[in-house]
Structure 1
Amino acid sequence: MNQDVFDGKWKQMRGTIKQQWGDLTDDDLRKVQGRYDQFLGLLQEKYGYSRQTAENELNTRMNDLAAFGDNLQTSTREVVTAVDQTVTQRPWFAMAATLLVGIIVGMWLNSSTD
């Protein structure tokens, strides 16, 4: 992984890092503050990895995360396209569905306040 990319994405990756490497504490992560070399050193210290193994593990995890993000983005785009097509091709159906959802939510909210 590119060191600049790691440094730039540190805040986004902290949660994933804690899930992947459960022995790392918040204090550990605060100490490295997204610095690539220090994080690799932390992995070496906590898990007994060689430097190469630490780099490989980090790259694998971050590539998996990037692939998940790409898949999520593609799926979201497909849903938006499908909704757009439905609204364009059947506007009355879309309006009726929206009205029905509004009525159901309204009834649910009304019943929850009783």
Structure 2
Amino acid sequence: MNEDKIRSQWKQLAGKLKEKWGKLTDDDLKVDGDSEYLAGKIYDRHGIARDEANKQVKEFGLAL
């Protein structure tokens, strides 16, 4: 998914992101389309390795 498309659809994606990574907060998702920031929050909230968080974000369809 390209960056412009991600930004334009961020509100719809935010709900799906919270379903997949339930510990994310609304504040965590306020940065529209920043996949590196998102991976960092997944790393922080879920206690998984940074590389694994990046991989999961990429697999979700958000480019890093």
- TM category (shorter chain) comes to 0.5 to 0.7
- Structure 1 residues 9 and 52: CA distance shift in structure 2, 3 A: farther
Give how far 1:40 is off: 1.2
Tell me the residue number matched to 1:55: 54
Aligned equivalents of 1:50, 1:28: Cα separation in 2: 18
Q: Give the partner amino acid of 1:15.
A: G
The answer to whether residue 2 in structure 2 is matched with residue 11 in structure 1 is no
- Count of equivalent residues: 61
Percentage of matched positions with identical amino acids: 34
Higher helix share: 1
Encode CA deviations 1:75-104: one digit per residue, 9 max, x unaligned.
xxxxxxxxxxxxxxxxxxxxxxxxxxxxxx
Structure 2: tracts of 5 or more residues without a match: none
> Does residue 44 of structure 2 align to residue 45 of structure 1?
yes
AA at the equivalent of 2:33: G
- The whole-number CA distance in structure 2 between the counterparts of 1:21 and 1:60 is 13
Question: Secondary structure, in 3 states, of the residue corresponding to 1:16?
Answer: helix
Higher normalized contact order (CA 8 Å, seq sep 6+, divided by chain length): 2
Mind listing any 5+ residue stretches in structure 1 that lack a counterpart? 64-114
Runs of 4+ in 1 over 4 A off after TM superposition: none
